[in-house]
Amino acid sequence: MEWNLGRMRRDHTVIKISQRKQQDLANFGYLSSRAETLNKEYEVLSVLITDHVIWSNLLIEFSRTIPEGVWLNSLSMSATQNTCNIQGTATNSHLVLGFEQCLKELPLFEEAAISTITRDPLGKGTGVVYEISCKFNKDVQ
């Protein structure tokens, strides 16, 4: 049996090169997948940075619209749904109507509407309970 050392070296070299190419392809696949993931994360962060809501500014502007005799019991805001829901009490329904009108005039909201207004069941018949639903103006933040 003859050993062809030259051929064995070439075969060994070819095997090593093939193994390196397979490793490089595996690395390339991983890097491509990682780059795709990073691009998606970048897109999400870009949206968050450009479309974030500065709640403190919104709340300050909002607080200036609440007339005397109107109280908030609950205020919920959702940036993802672009809405604001206000629940509260007032001394009378006219004040709630005025509050609704003030909200409509704010550039902060594109819509504001009274959802419900009823006599306060816990009061002595003089107060009202209300709920107002608003939709944020997307251009104002």
Given a cut of 60, whether residue 141 has pLDDT beyond it is: no
Mean pLDDT across 2-24: 74
Residue 23 domain boundaries? 1-52
Q: Which pair of tokens denotes residue 86? A: 């206000």
Please tell me the distance from the alpha carbon of residue 125 to that of residue 127, in angstroms, as a whole number: 6
Retrieve residue 101's tokens.
């009108």
Rounded alpha-carbon distances, angstroms, from residue 11 to 2, 16, 21, 22, 70:
16, 9, 15, 16, 88
Per-residue pLDDT tens digits for 69-122: 999 999 998 877 888 899 999 999 999 999 999 999 988 889 999 999 998 776
Task: Give yes or no for residue 26 having a pLDDT over 60.
Answer: yes
CATH of the domain at 73: 3.30.1360.100
Q: Are residues 101 and 38 in the same domain?
A: no
Q: Is residue 61 located within the same domain as residue 129? A: yes
Beta strands in 39-104 (DSSP E): 70-78, 83-90
Q: What is the pTM of this model?
A: 0.59
Distance CA 87, CA 132 (A): 7
Number of domains in the chain: 2
Residue 6 is predicted with a pLDDT of 67
Does 68 lie in the same domain as 34?
Answer: no
At residue 79, the pLDDT reads 73
Per the prediction, the chain carries an average pLDDT of 82
Judge whether residue 49 has pLDDT over 70: no
In a domain, 141, yes or no: no
